[in-house]
Structure 1
Amino acid sequence: MGSLSVRSPDLWPASLAKERLDVSRETYERLCLYEALLKKWQAKINLIGPVTVDHIWTRHFLDSAQIVAQVRDHSSLYPGAEKGEKPSWLDLGAGAGFPGLVLACFDAGPVHLVESDQRKCSFLRQVIRETGVNATIHHSRIEQLAPFPVDIITARALAPLDQLLAYGEKFCTPQSEYWFLKGRSVQEELTRCQQSWTVEAELFESWTDPQAILIQIRAASRAG
Structure 2
Amino acid sequence: MMDVSRETEGRLNEYAKLLRQWSVKINLVAPSTLDDLKERHLADSAQLRTHAAHWNKWCDLGSGGGLPGIVISILSPECHVSLIESDKRKAVFLTHVVTKLDLNATVFDGRIETIDPQRADVVSARALAPLPRLIPLALRHGHSGTRYIFPKGLRWREEINEAKKVYRFDVDAQPSITDKHAVVLVLENFERA
Question: C-alpha offsets along residues 35-74 of structure 1, whole Å, 9 cap, x if unaligned?
Answer: 1111111111111101101011000000000011232xxx
Displacement of 1:170 after TM fit? 2.0
- Name the SS of the counterpart of 1:143 in structure 2: coil
TM-score of the superposed pair, with normalisation by structure 1: 0.83
Q: 1:142, 1:91 → 2: CA distance?
A: 10
| Aligned partners of 2:59 and 2:118 also within 8 Å | no
Question: C-alpha offsets along residues 171-211 of structure 1, whole Å, 9 cap, x if unaligned?
Answer: 22111110001111101100111010000000100011001
Other-structure match for 2:141: 171
Runs of at least 4 residues of structure 1 off by over 2 A?
Answer: none
| Aligned partners of 1:200 and 1:217 also within 8 Å | yes
Other-structure match for 1:157: 127
Q: 1:112, 1:148 → 2: CA distance?
A: 8
Displacement of 1:222 after TM fit? 1.6
Q: Given residue 50 of structure 2, which amino acid in structure 1 is its aligned partner?
A: A
Other-structure match for 1:95: 64
Displacement of 1:88 after TM fit? 0.6
Same amino acid, percent of matched pairs: 37
Is the counterpart of residue 55 in structure 1 residue 36 in structure 2?
yes
Other-structure match for 2:21: 40
- Write the mapping of 1:16-27 to structure 2, written as runs, cut at 5 A: 17-18=2-3, 23-27=4-8
| Aligned partners of 1:90 and 1:154 also within 8 Å | yes
Aligned length in residues: 192
Q: CA RMSD in A?
A: 1.1
- Write the mapping of 1:211-222 to structure 2, written as runs, cut at 5 A: 211-222=181-192
| Aligned partners of 1:183 and 1:211 also within 8 Å | yes
TM-score of the superposed pair, with normalisation by structure 2: 0.96
Other-structure match for 2:170: 200
Other-structure match for 1:6: none
Is the counterpart of residue 65 in structure 1 residue 14 in structure 2?
no
The structure, 1 or 2, with the larger RCO (C-alpha pairs under 8 Å, 6+ apart) is 2
Specify every segment of 5 or more residues in structure 1 that has no aligned partner in the other structure, as ranges: 1-11, 79-85
| Aligned partners of 1:112 and 1:135 also within 8 Å | yes
